[in-house]
């Protein structure tokens, strides 16, 4: 049996074909979507758990070496793993939020794929993270479908990391391929996520159209200009229908991070001054919430930075705010801060004001964020998204008849308004914001495997 597999930045989902139509499978309770999160007792626990409880072997000698090192470090820390110690999805998030200091937590491993400067040990670790998530999802999908799943069409963004990075894209796709193979998939194909979303929209067309697919996901925004309709359906070679592509690593996570930076981090001292009159260094407020940046997270949470933060508090005009930043360091609160920003973004999709509350040390911080404040805060990533629309239109000699907007962040009215300003008089339609890519991947699976 084959599935379409959307290994997303924010959520993962899979779909099978059922009587000619895609059907999403439950992956966590009754939910068809599982958050792209994982937590474990320690960083090293992932490799050992994958081997010991998920029966997944290392890929090569580098993987074997990493596994031996992980097991030795766990023994040194007196960690004896039990079944269930590594958790996924909402369960992982709930465990992390209940006590951030007691677990190793990762949100959106896909955000790190294709990053430059990763050494061999990091590549092995990211592959283990992805593999363990894929193995869990495959097991849940087989439980839901009551069938063995051996084939998958996996979605991928136009660019995983930055613009036009061929080497980065090759590295990221290689990690996905090896992880999926180790997780038990025997036949694997890749398809661009916006193309997959377009295939799902195409199934509704009774006449040919030139369609601009704008897929605003958690980690990337991808645009594809595609000829679609009855003349193209069921063709295994769609290369002539693809008129243009653009993509960049900017998505819903970036909206959350920018909103957190501009609106929440002032409560932690951002924008305040030292006694000398000099403003606090920006990086100390950006790095803790840059959850999709390996280097930023490492720089903030390394031991040496604690001394720097203590010194900043000593020199601060508003030391009580810097005390909160110290608490963010000590309790690893970066993910929680961004989570509060994400909740505000979702709340402001259909309201003019959102009130948030966040416990920090012995305080309960309260803040009201208005819609216009959010729009102002996220201006930079939104402009990057609109630049991708301009880029893909410039690649083709035709303009779109319609815009198909999808992806979780596409629900935000201000993004739709920005797109309307960018391409006036072109109608915008939407399908299932979260499920269009997954459904389209399953349809492509029918074409290549069926």
State phi, psi for 22 to the nearest 5 degrees.
-70, 140
Quick one: pLDDT at residue 408? 85
**Domains along the chain?**
2-185 (3.30.420.40), 205-251+379-429 (3.30.420.40), 253-377 (no CATH)
CA–CA separation, 257 and 252 (whole Å): 9
**DSSP conformation class of 291:** T
- Residue 326: Cβ within 10 Å count: 18
3-class secondary structure, 395 = coil
What is the edge-to-edge ordering of all strands in the sheet holding 428-430?
242-248, 221-228, 209-216, 402-406, 428-430
Quick one: pLDDT at residue 163? 52
Instruction: Label the pairing between strands 402-406 and 428-430.
Output: parallel
Q: Hey, which bits of 260-374 come out as E strands? A: 353-360, 363-370
**Residue ranges in the chain modelled with pLDDT below 50:** none
CA–CA separation, 390 and 392 (whole Å): 6
| 150-167 confidence digits (pLDDT tens) | 999 999 999 987 555 788
Residue carrying structure tokens 């940046």: 293
CA–CA separation, 246 and 396 (whole Å): 12
State the Rg of the chain over Cα.
22
**DSSP conformation class of 29:** T
3-class secondary structure, 228 = strand
With vertex at residue 133, the alpha carbon angle to CA 132 and CA 138, rounded to the nearest 5 degrees, is 100
């Amino acid at each position: 049996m084959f599935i379409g597999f959307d290994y997303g930045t924010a959520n993962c989902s899979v779909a099978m074909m059922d009587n000619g139509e895609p059907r999403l499978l439950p992956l966590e309770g009754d939910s068809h979507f599982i958050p792209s999160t994982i937590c474990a007792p320690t960083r090293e626990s992932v490799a050992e758990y994958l081997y010991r409880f998920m029966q997944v072997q290392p890929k090569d000698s580098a993987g074997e070496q990493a596994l031996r090192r992980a097991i030795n470090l766990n023994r040194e820390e007196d960690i004896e793993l039990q079944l269930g110690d590594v958790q996924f999805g909402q369960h992982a998030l709930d465990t992390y939020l209940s006590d951030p200091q007691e677990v190793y937590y990762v949100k959106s491993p896909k955000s790190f794929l294709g990053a430059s400067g990763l050494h061999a040990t990091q590549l092995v670790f990211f592959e283990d993270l992805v593999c363990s998530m894929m193995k869990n999802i495959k097991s849940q999908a087989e439980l839901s479908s009551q069938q063995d799943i051996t084939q998958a069409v996996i979605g991928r963004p136009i660019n995983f990391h930055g613009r036009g990075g061929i080497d980065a894209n090759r590295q990221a796709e290689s990690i996905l391929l090896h992880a999926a193979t180790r997780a038990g998939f025997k036949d694997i194909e890749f398809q661009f996520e916006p193309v997959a979303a377009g295939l799902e929209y195409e199934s509704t067309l009774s006449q040919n159209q030139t369609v601009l697919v704008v897929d605003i996901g958690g980690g990337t925004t991808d645009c594809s200009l595609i000829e679609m309709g009855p003349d193209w359906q069921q063709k295994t070679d769609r290369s002539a229908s693809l008129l243009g592509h653009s993509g960049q690593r900017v998505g819903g996570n970036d909206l959350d991070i920018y909103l957190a930076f501009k609106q929440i981090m002032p409560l932690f001292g951002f924008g305040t001054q030292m006694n000398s009159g000099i403003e606090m260094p920006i990086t100390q407020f950006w790095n803790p919430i840059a959850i999709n940046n390996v280097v930023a997270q490492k720089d903030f949470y390394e031991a040496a930075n604690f001394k720097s933060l203590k010194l900043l508090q000593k020199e601060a005009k508003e030391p009580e705010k810097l005390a909160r930043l110290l608490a963010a360091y000590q309790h690893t609160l970066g993910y929680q801060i961004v989570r509060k920003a994400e909740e505000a973004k979702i709340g402001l999709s259909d309201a003019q004001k959102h009130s948030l509350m966040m416990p920090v040390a012995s305080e309960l911080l309260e803040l009201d964020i208005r819609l216009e404040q959010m729009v102002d805060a996220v201006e930079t990533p939104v402009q990057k998204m609109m630049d991708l629309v301009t880029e893909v239109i410039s690649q083709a000699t035709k303009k779109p008849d319609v815009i198909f907007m999808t992806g979780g962040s596409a629900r935000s009215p201000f993004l739709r308004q920005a797109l309307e300003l960018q391409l006036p008089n072109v109608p915008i339609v939407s399908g299932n914001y979260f499920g269009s890519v997954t459904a389209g991947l399953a349809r492509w699976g029918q074409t290549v495997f069926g």
